[in-house]
């Protein structure tokens, strides 16, 4: 009986390894056959689940169900089903998912997994396309997971001992606390991974390899020299005696957001139940050091927040929390970020979140969203899923990435580029030293050959623009060769449309359903184009700030005569193409969230102008964009606007404000470093105010204008205090910029 009490005590403290030892000893004794046996088995199975020991969890559940099945709560059926799936026993797992679904009809997991395990071939449809490599240079005998791109390398989470200070032990699984580490060169990582994988295979052939051990370093004619990788502690200022990680970076790598236990500035806090929760923190890089760690405002001492992921424009933060009001254990939330201010978190909803756990979100540069879940149907444990997002919110259905990215164990923390051709993820699958490890993947291609022909002559048409369209969004664009052919790399399980554009021809289109095709062999589609007298209208939507293409912009072509419209959504290349079927004057309008609407008049379109193209490329201005107004300089220690500065305002800034009447801007004035910082701050305030006064005099609504001086806090060169610089260099710092604060309809209060 004393063992049972000791086990319960450790269980309450979440010290699961010690609880397991006591429960196992108690159950093996004669005392373990009494009225406490059911409770001991339930808690022992729970401990094994928490430690991800799926084989022992299954063993204990089997004993529990053998004796007490009729007396068990419904959640035990769910846990047993999950443990069986973790061990690849899908038929048996299906049986207990079905029973769980009968008892808990509102929990969709019972029905979803029961259906999925009737035929799990869907999880293996693309398996031959992937090559997965265990990352020998990074992985240690401790837990390593959640890589994140950082400059030319990867920052990842690890329990290894190379961090600063003495490593404390996390009682829940008796492993060291987690810290952030850096592998600075992914090119070297790829090279060393190939060498070590080859060495491991050779040693295994010779009988000297052993699973779970890093290959020995050898030097002979058979192998290249293996270089000891350099793995550094990412930041001594960020790593503490508690857990740190995962992490996400702002685009410029000068700010980051990371997960840490409720600990900051040398002080830790606990919830009312005595648990040190996880929180999100933001940090800033100054020089080569990270610091200025601040807690995000929506944290709480009574629930956890973690696993941050920023959108590509840094305007939305996705994170995980077990706060009240969610759908399950942990849900994914989104919160807006603007001008250093945070909005209120919003649950991503039933499309993403389930009664289970959703974790480890990630968004690539195209806005594709990835996350891990044990609530959506998968191969067992946590699987990695993909979902298309529009305007930062879910669109369409969740897609399981399938084997070998997913396995029967926990798979999570995936990062990749827009085409998902390569990337990294974490898993506690069998291969590796122990616990979680980091893997690299490369994805091959299922080829589809497309041919474009003249419908009358049957001759191939070269230089035809072929646009792949998915869910109404422009994706990749391809160009046919002299044989009228091009090759397309497709993913399976998705329906695509292809549109063909060529001057002098009608738009051609064809739909291809890879949902019903295994794509086991290269396949061929032919498109026949009818001659036409219609004009083509095409162009590219770009950022006014950096001239980069803008994906996700809704582009509308409107006939001003009859009001008819056509619409496309730009892909990663920012391009749009139309072939209007009616003569008339046309407007092209581009709209996107957080961008000012831009409309361009492209003039008349006539059917008589065969084989001609109207090309209209135009830019968009987005919230947060900062533009330098060239040639707005000031004389030393003066705030008056010079004549050359007035000309720059008249020709560059005022036309933008007139073109985009729905933007509000901040006039940002800067000084050089000479004189005191207090003097410079006052001077820059005065300069910003002078610019605003000039704009108001020119007829710009004052309610659209904000003035702010930055003094010498944001120099553009090295001319700090004490560093000798020429007058020309100092003048570079005496500059004015404008920042787009908001984009909304502005009402004037002037009569």
DSSP 446-497: EEEEEEEEETTT--B-TT-EEEEEETTEEEEEEE--TTSEEEEEE-SS-EEE
Q: Which H or E run includes 678?
A: helix 677-697
Instruction: Determine the pLDDT at residue 211.
Output: 44
> Could you tell me if 539 and 572 lie in one domain?
yes
Which DSSP string do the residues of 113-151 spell out, in sequence order?
Answer: HHHHTT-GGGGGTTGGGEEEEE-TTT--SS-EEEEEEET
> Could you tell me if 286 and 150 lie in one domain?
yes
> Could you tell me if 265 and 301 lie in one domain?
yes
> Could you tell me if 657 and 722 lie in one domain?
yes
> Could you tell me if 464 and 500 lie in one domain?
yes
Residue 17: partners with Cβ closer than 8 Å, 6 or more residues away: 47, 51, 173, 174
6: Cα within 13 Å, side-chain hemisphere: 13
> Could you tell me if 247 and 307 lie in one domain?
yes
The sign of the CA dihedral 250, 472, 349, 156 is negative
Q: Is residue 315 part of a domain?
A: yes
Q: Is residue 321 part of a domain?
A: yes
**Using a CB cutoff of 8 Å and minimum separation of 24, what contacts does 690-698 make?**
690/639, 690/640, 690/641, 691/632, 691/641, 691/649, 691/667, 691/736, 692/667, 694/641, 694/646, 694/649, 695/649, 695/653, 695/654, 695/657, 695/667, 698/649, 698/650, 698/654
In whole numbers, what is the pLDDT of the chain averaged over residues?
85
pLDDT at 451 over 80: yes
> Could you tell me if 273 and 154 lie in one domain?
yes
pLDDT at 392 over 70: yes
Q: Is residue 457 part of a domain?
A: yes
525 backbone dihedrals φ, ψ, rounded to 5°:
-125, 140
The answer to whether the CB of 143 falls within 8 A of the CB of 51 is no
The answer to whether the CB of 429 falls within 8 A of the CB of 409 is yes
Least confident of 234-243, 249-258, 525-534, 636-645: 636-645
Grade residue 219 by pLDDT with cuts at 50, 70 and 90. very low
SS3 580: coil
And the tokens for 258? 């990371």
The sign of the CA dihedral 177, 149, 406, 442 is negative
Spatial separation of the C-alpha atoms in residues 184 and 192, rounded to whole Å: 13
> Could you tell me if 607 and 650 lie in one domain?
no
| 669-688 mean pLDDT | 89
Instruction: Determine the pLDDT at residue 746.
Output: 41
Spatial separation of the C-alpha atoms in residues 217 and 203, rounded to whole Å: 11
Strand partners of residue 198: none
Q: Is residue 557 part of a domain?
A: yes
Number of domains in the chain: 4
Grade residue 611 by pLDDT with cuts at 50, 70 and 90. low
pLDDT at 215 over 90: no
| 611-616 mean pLDDT | 82
Residues 536-561 pLDDT 10s: 899 999 998 889 999 889 999 999 98
Last residue of a domain, one of 621, 655, 687: 621
Spatial separation of the C-alpha atoms in residues 157 and 238, rounded to whole Å: 12
Alpha carbon 736 to chain centroid, angstroms: 34
Least confident of 226-235, 262-271, 504-513, 614-623: 262-271
And the tokens for 55? 């084989």
Q: What percent of the chain has pLDDT over 90?
A: 50
User: What DSSP designation does 649 have?
Assistant: I
Q: Which H or E run includes 618?
A: strand 618-620
| 303-324 mean pLDDT | 94
Q: What separation in angstroms does the CA of 434 have from each of 47, 143, 359, 438? A: 18, 7, 21, 11
Please report, for the domain that includes residue 594, its CATH number.
Answer: 2.60.40.10
In the structure, how many helices (H) and strands (E) does the chain have?
Answer: 12, 44
The answer to whether the CB of 97 falls within 8 A of the CB of 109 is yes
pLDDT at 450 over 80: yes
Least confident of 400-414, 458-472, 520-534: 520-534
Q: Is residue 115 part of a domain?
A: no
Last residue of a domain, one of 443, 467, 487: 443
Instruction: Determine the pLDDT at residue 434.
Output: 54
> Could you tell me if 526 and 540 lie in one domain?
no
> Could you tell me if 593 and 645 lie in one domain?
no
CB atoms within 10 A of CB 635: 10
| 252-280 mean pLDDT | 74
Q: Which H or E run includes 110?
A: helix 108-116
Residues 645-655 pLDDT 10s: 788 888 888 99
Grade residue 750 by pLDDT with cuts at 50, 70 and 90. very low
pLDDT at 89 over 80: yes
| 116-140 mean pLDDT | 90
Residues 740-749 pLDDT 10s: 998 875 433 3
Which of 20-34, 65-79, 444-458, 726-740 has the highest average model confidence (pLDDT)? 65-79
Q: Is residue 210 part of a domain?
A: no
Grade residue 86 by pLDDT with cuts at 50, 70 and 90. very high
- Per the confidence metrics, is the pTM higher than 0.95? no
Taking CA 616 as the corner, what is the angle to CA 614 and CA 620, rounded to the nearest 5 degrees?
A: 165
Q: Is residue 34 part of a domain?
A: no
Identify the domain containing residue 147 by its residue range.
Answer: 135-184+230-336+409-443
Please report, for the domain that includes residue 520, its CATH number.
Answer: 2.60.40.1120
Please report, for the domain that includes residue 725, its CATH number.
Answer: 3.30.1330.60
User: What DSSP designation does 177 have?
Assistant: P
Grade residue 191 by pLDDT with cuts at 50, 70 and 90. confident
Residues 223-237 pLDDT 10s: 455 556 678 899 988
Instruction: Determine the pLDDT at residue 172.
Output: 55
3-state helix, strand, coil split of the chain in percent (to 5) is 25, 35, 40
Q: Is residue 352 part of a domain?
A: no
Last residue of a domain, one of 621, 638, 666: 621
Which DSSP string do the residues of 326-353 spell out, in sequence order?
Answer: -SSSBEEEEEEEETTEE---EE--TTT-
> Could you tell me if 162 and 301 lie in one domain?
yes
b/e per residue, 21-47, with b = 16+ CB within 10 A? ebbbebbeeebbeeebbeebbbbbbbb
> Could you tell me if 162 and 280 lie in one domain?
yes
Grade residue 210 by pLDDT with cuts at 50, 70 and 90. very low
The answer to whether the CB of 425 falls within 8 A of the CB of 146 is no
């Amino acid at each position: 009986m004393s063992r049972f009490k000791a086990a319960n005590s450790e269980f309450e403290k979440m010290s699961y390894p010690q609880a397991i030892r006591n429960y196992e000893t108690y159950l093996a004794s004669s005392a373990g056959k009494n009225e406490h046996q059911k409770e001991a088995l339930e808690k022992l199975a729970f401990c094994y689940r928490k430690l991800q020991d799926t084989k022992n969890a299954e063993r204990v559940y089997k004993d529990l169900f053998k004796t007490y099945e009729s007396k068990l709560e419904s959640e035990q059926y769910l846990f047993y089903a999950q443990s069986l799936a973790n061990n690849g026993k899908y038929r048996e797992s299906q049986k207990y998912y079905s029973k769980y679904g009968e008892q808990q009809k509102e929990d969709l997991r019972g029905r979803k997994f029961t259906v999925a395990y009737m035929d799990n071939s869907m999880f293996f449809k693309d398996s031959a396309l992937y090559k997965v490599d265990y990352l020998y240079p990074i992985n240690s005998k401790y837990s390593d997971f959640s890589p994140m791109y950082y400059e030319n390398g990867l920052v990842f989470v690890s329990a290894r001992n190379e961090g600063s200070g003495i490593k404390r032990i996390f009682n829940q699984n008796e492993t060291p606390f987690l810290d952030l580490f850096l592998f600075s060169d992914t090119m070297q990582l790829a090279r060393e991974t190939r060498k070590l994988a080859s060495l491991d295979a050779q040693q295994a052939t010779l009988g000297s390899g052993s699973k779970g051990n890093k290959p020995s370093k050898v030097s002979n004619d058979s192998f290249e020299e293996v270089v000891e990788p350099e793995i550094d502690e990412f930041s001594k200022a960020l790593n503490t005696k508690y857990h740190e990680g995962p992490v996400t970076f702002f685009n410029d790598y000068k700010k980051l957001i990371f997960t840490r236990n409720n600990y900051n500035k040398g002080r830790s806090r606990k919830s009312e139940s005595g648990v040190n929760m996880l929180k999100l923190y933001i940090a800033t890089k100054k020089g080569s050091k990270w610091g200025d760690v601040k807690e995000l405002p929506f944290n709480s001492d009574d629930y956890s927040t973690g696993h941050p992921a920023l959108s590509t424009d840094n305007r939305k933060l996705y994170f995980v929390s077990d706060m009240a009001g969610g759908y399950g254990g942990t849900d994914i939330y989104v919160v807006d970020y603007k001008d250093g201010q945070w909005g209120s978190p919003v649950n991503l909803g039933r499309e993403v979140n389930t009664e289970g756990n959703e974790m480890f979100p990630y968004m690539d540069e195209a806005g594709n969203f990835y996350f891990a879940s044990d609530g959506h149907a998968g191969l067992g444990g946590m699987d990695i899923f993909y979902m298309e997002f529009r305007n930062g919110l879910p669109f369409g259905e969740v897609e399981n990435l399938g084997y070998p990215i997913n396995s029967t164990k926990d798979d999570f923390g995936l990062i990749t580029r827009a085409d998902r051709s390569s990337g990294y993820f974490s898993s506690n699958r069998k291969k590796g030293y122990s616990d979680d490890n980091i893997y690299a993947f490369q994805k091959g291609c299922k080829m589809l050959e497309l041919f474009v022909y003249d419908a009358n002559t049957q001759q191939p048409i070269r230089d035809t623009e072929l646009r792949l369209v998915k869910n109404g969004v422009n994706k990749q664009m391809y160009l046919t060769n002299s044989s009228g052919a091009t090759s397309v790399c497709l993913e399976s399980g998705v329906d695509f449309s292809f549109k063909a554009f060529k001057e002098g021809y009608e738009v051609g289109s064809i739909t291809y359903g890879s949902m019903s095709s295994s794509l086991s062999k290269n396949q061929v589609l032919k498109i026949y184009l009818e001659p036409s007298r219609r004009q083509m209208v095409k162009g590219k939507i770009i950022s006014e700030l950096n001239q980069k293409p803008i994906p996700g912009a809704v582009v509308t072509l409107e006939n001003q005569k009859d009001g008819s419209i056509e619409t496309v959504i730009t892909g990663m290349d920012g391009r749009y193409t139309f072939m209007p079927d009616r003569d008339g004057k046309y407007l092209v309008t581009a709209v996107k969230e957080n961008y000012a609407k831009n409309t361009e008049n492209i003039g008349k379109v006539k059917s008589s102008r065969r084989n001609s193209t109207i090309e209209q490329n135009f830019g968009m201005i987005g919230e947060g964009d900062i533009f330098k107004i060239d040639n707005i300089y000031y004389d030393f220690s003066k705030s008056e606007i010079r004549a050359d500065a007035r000309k720059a305002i008249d020709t560059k800034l005022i036309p933008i404000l007139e073109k985009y009447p729905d933007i509000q801007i901040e006039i940002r004035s800067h000084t050089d470093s000479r004189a005191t910082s207090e003097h410079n701050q006052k001077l820059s305030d005065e300069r910003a105010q002078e610019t605003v006064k000039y704009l108001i005099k020119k007829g710009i609504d004052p309610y659209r204008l904000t003035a702010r001086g930055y003094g010498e806090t944001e120099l553009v060169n090295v001319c700090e205090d004490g560093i000798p610089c020429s007058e020309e260099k100092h003048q570079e710092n005496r500059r004015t910029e404008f920042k787009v604060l908001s984009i909304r309809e502005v009402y004037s209060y002037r009569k």
